[in-house]
C-alpha cells in the first residue's frame, strides 16, 4: 500500500472511531425522526409515501386536508406499518383521537424541519448561529427559496440576500474570538459568509437564452457583491441542476473580470464531483485564475440532484451528465480534490462532504502539498453528521456549517433532498451510523 494511502487509512480510522461514539440526530431512534426514517429505510413504499406527504404537508391548511392526505398515502393494503408509526399517523384520521394526533403530527414535522432549517428569518436564527460559532463551527447562510417564478419574487430574493449581509455584519462582530475560525494561513477571514442560488435571482434564466441570462443575472448579483465587499462577506454561488452549470460558471468568471470587483477576494463557486464535465470545468477555472491573477474559493461537493439528473436525461434522450456508479463519483471527488490542492495558489479549497474517506483523503493530500491545516476548510450541512464535525473540531480543523434560513413551504424541497440523501442505500452516513457497515469497506479507496 502506498505511503499516502496508509496515512489516509490511519487518519480515517481514527476519525471514524471518534465519530462512532455518538449518533447523528437523524438516526437517533429515541426521537420520532429517527424512528420514522429507520422504518423508511426498511420499506421503500413507505419511504415514497412519507416523503410525498412531507413535501405536501406545509400546504395543507386544514385538519381535514391533513386527514385526507394521510388516508390517501398511508391507508394502503400493502403498507404494513409497525404499531408505533401506525398509532402516530393513522390516529390522525380516526374520530376522537385525531384531535390529539393532528397537533402531535404537526409538531413532529416541524421538529424534523428544525433539524435542518435554523430559523424562519435571520433574527429568528441568530441565537442558533451564535451557538454554532460557540461550538467551534463557522457558518455559511443559505436563504431557502430556490427558483424564482416571477421577477417580483426574484427581486425579493435579491433584497433578502442584501439584508442578510447587513444583518450578519451587525451580528457577528460581538461573537467570541476563535483563532481556528477567524484566521487561515494568510490572515484574518470574514465571519460573514453566504451561499447564493442564481435561480433565485432571475425567473427567466435558461441556457436557451444564454447571453441574456448571463447579463440579467449579473445585474442581479452585482448589488450583492457590492454589499459583500462593503461588509467583508464571503459569497459562494451554489451549483444547482446541470442545466444551470455552464451559466453559473460563465456568470461567476465574468463578474470576477469586472474592474469593480478586481479587489474582491471573497467570491467562491461550488463544483459537483458527480458530473463527468467537472474535471474540465475545474481545469478551465484554474487557467482563468492563473491568467487573470485571481484566487477564488472552490467548494467541492458530490452533487445533490443525482436522481433528478438521471431522470431528466432519460426523459429527453440526452446522454446522462452524472456518473451512474457511486464509487465513480467518490473516485472523481478524490481526483478533483488533488487537482484543487495542486493549485492552491489559485484556489482556496473547501471540501464539503460528510464522507470520512473523502475528507481524510483531502486532509492528507493537503499535508503532502504543503498547505497548512488552516489553509483548507471542511464544510458540512447543519443538522447532519454532528459526531464527525465534533471530532474534526477537536483535531483543530476549521469546519463551516451550511445553515439554511427560511419558512417551511420554500424549505420543503431542501428538507426532502436531505431526507433522501440520508436514507439512500449509498449514503456514507447511513452506512456508518445506521447500517453499521464494516470499517474496511467504508474507508477503502474508491474503485479499489
Ligand X SMILES: Cc1cc2nc3c(=O)[nH]c(=O)nc-3n(C[C@H](O)[C@H](O)[C@H](O)COP(=O)(O)OP(=O)(O)OC[C@H]3O[C@@H](n4cnc5c(N)ncnc54)[C@H](O)[C@@H]3O)c2cc1C
Interaction site with ligand X (CB under 6 A): 238-239, 270, 272, 274, 301-306, 323-326, 328-329, 352-355, 358, 379-381, 402, 421, 426-428
- Name the CA radius of gyration of the chain, rounded: 22
**Crossing angle for the helix pair 356-368 and 3-19, to the nearest 10 degrees:** 130
Cβ-based nearer residue to ligand X, 209 or 325: 325
**Least separation in angstroms between CB 336 and ligand X:** 12
Cβ-based nearer residue to ligand X, 69 or 430: 430
What does the H/E/C string look like for 23-74?
A: CCHHHCCCCHHHHHHHHHHHCHHHHHHHHHHHHHHHHCCCHHHHHHHHHHHH
Q: Give residue for cell 428569518.
A: 121
**Least separation in angstroms between CB 317 and ligand X:** 20
CA dist 382 and 379 (Å) reads: 10
Cβ-based nearer residue to ligand X, 186 or 426: 426
Cβ-based nearer residue to ligand X, 91 or 148: 148
The torsion defined by the Cα of 178, 179, 180 and 182, in degrees rounded to 10, comes to 80
Residue 439's nearest CA partner among 7, 5, 14, 3 is 14
**Least separation in angstroms between CB 239 and ligand X:** 4
Cβ-based nearer residue to ligand X, 108 or 310: 310
**Least separation in angstroms between CB 94 and ligand X:** 38
Cβ-based nearer residue to ligand X, 234 or 272: 272
**Least separation in angstroms between CB 259 and ligand X:** 28
Burial class (CB in 10 A: 0-12, 13-18, 19+), 318: exposed
Cβ-based nearer residue to ligand X, 373 or 431: 431
Cβ-based nearer residue to ligand X, 272 or 365: 272
**Least separation in angstroms between CB 356 and ligand X:** 9
Q: Is the dihedral of CA 290, 345, 14, 23 positive or negative?
A: negative
Cβ-based nearer residue to ligand X, 260 or 435: 435
The helix (run of H) or strand (run of E) holding residue 286 is helix 278-292
Distance of CA 122 to the CA centre of its chain: 18
The helix (run of H) or strand (run of E) holding residue 278 is helix 278-292
Q: Which long-range contacts (CB under 8 A, 24 or more apart) does 337-344 make?
A: 337/300, 337/361, 337/362, 337/365, 338/365, 339/279, 339/282, 339/283, 339/286, 340/282, 340/298, 340/300, 341/365, 341/366, 341/369, 341/371, 341/376, 342/369, 343/286, 343/289, 344/369, 344/371, 344/375
236 neighbors 190 (Cβ within 8 angstroms): no
Residue 124 in grid coordinates: 429568528
Cβ-based nearer residue to ligand X, 304 or 341: 304
Strands 183-184 and 187-188: antiparallel
**Least separation in angstroms between CB 124 and ligand X:** 21
* Count of alpha carbons within 13 angstroms of residue 112, beta-carbon side: 26
**Least separation in angstroms between CB 353 and ligand X:** 3
Cβ-based nearer residue to ligand X, 67 or 437: 437
**Least separation in angstroms between CB 106 and ligand X:** 28
**E-assigned strand segments in 151-232:** 183-184, 187-188, 192-196
**Least separation in angstroms between CB 19 and ligand X:** 13
CA dist 344 and 105 (Å) reads: 49
Q: Give residue for cell 467541492.
A: 300
Amino acid at each position: 500500500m502506498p505511503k499516502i494511502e496508509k496515512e489516509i487509512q490511519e487518519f480515517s480510522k481514527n476519525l471514524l472511531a471518534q465519530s462512532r461514539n455518538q449518533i447523528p440526530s437523524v438516526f437517533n431512534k429515541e426521537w420520532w425522526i429517527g424512528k420514522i426514517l429507520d422504518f423508511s429505510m426498511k420499506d421503500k413504499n413507505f419511504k415514497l409515501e412519507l416523503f410525498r406527504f412531507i413535501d405536501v404537508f406545509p400546504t395543507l391548511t386544514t385538519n381535514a386536508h391533513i386527514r385526507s392526505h394521510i388516508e390517501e398515502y398511508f391507508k394502503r393494503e400493502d403498507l404494513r406499518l409497525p404499531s408505533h408509526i401506525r398509532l402516530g399517523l393513522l390516529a390522525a384520521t380516526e374520530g376522537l383521537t385525531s384531535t390529539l394526533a393532528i397537533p402531535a403530527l404537526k409538531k413532529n414535522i416541524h421538529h424534523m424541519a428544525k433539524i435542518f432549517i435554523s430559523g424562519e428569518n435571520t433574527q429568528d436564527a441568530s441565537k442558533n448561529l451564535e451557538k454554532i460559532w460557540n461550538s467551534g463551527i463557522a457558518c455559511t447562510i443559505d436563504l431557502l427559496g430556490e427558483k424564482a417564478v416571477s421577477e417580483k419574487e426574484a427581486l425579493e430574493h435579491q433584497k433578502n440576500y442584501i439584508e442578510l449581509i447587513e444583518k450578519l455584519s451587525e451580528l457577528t462582530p460581538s461573537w467570541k474570538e476563535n483563532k481556528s475560525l477567524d484566521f487561515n494561513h494568510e490572515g484574518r477571514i470574514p465571519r460573514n459568509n453566504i451561499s447564493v442560488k442564481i435561480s433565485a435571482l432571475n425567473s427567466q434564466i435558461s441556457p436557451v437564452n444564454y447571453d441574456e441570462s448571463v447579463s440579467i443575472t449579473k445585474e442581479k448579483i452585482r448589488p450583492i457583491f457590492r454589499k459583500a465587499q462593503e461588509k467583508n462577506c464571503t459569497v459562494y454561488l451554489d451549483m444547482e441542476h446541470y442545466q444551470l452549470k455552464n451559466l453559473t460558471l460563465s456568470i461567476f468568471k465574468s463578474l470576477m473580470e469586472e474592474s469593480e470587483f478586481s479587489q474582491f477576494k471573497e467570491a467562491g463557486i461550488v463544483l459537483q464531483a458527480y458530473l463527468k464535465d467537472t474535471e474540465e470545468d475545474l481545469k478551465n477555472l484554474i487557467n482563468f485564475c492563473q491568467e487573470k491573477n485571481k484566487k477564488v474559493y472552490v467548494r467541492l461537493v458530490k452533487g445533490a440532484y443525482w436522481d433528478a439528473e438521471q431522470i431528466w436525461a432519460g426523459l429527453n434522450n440526452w446522454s446522462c451528465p452524472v456518473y451512474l456508479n457511486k464509487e465513480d463519483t467518490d473516485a472523481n471527488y478524490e481526483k478533483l480534490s488533488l487537482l484543487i490542492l495542486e493549485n492552491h495558489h489559485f484556489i482556496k479549497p473547501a471540501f464539503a462532504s460528510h464522507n470520512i474517506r473523502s475528507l481524510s483523503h483531502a486532509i492528507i493530500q493537503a499535508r503532502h502539498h504543503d498547505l497548512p491545516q488552516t489553509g483548507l476548510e471542511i464544510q458540512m450541512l447543519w443538522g447532519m453528521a454532528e459526531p464527525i464535525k465534533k471530532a474534526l473540531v477537536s483535531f483543530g480543523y476549521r469546519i463551516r456549517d451550511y445553515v439554511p434560513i427560511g419558512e417551511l413551504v420554500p424549505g420543503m424541497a431542501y428538507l426532502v433532498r436531505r431526507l433522501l440523501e440520508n436514507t439512500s442505500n449509498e449514503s456514507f452516513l447511513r452506512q456508518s451510523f445506521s447500517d453499521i457497515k464494516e470499517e474496511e469497506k467504508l474507508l477503502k479507496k474508491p474503485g479499489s
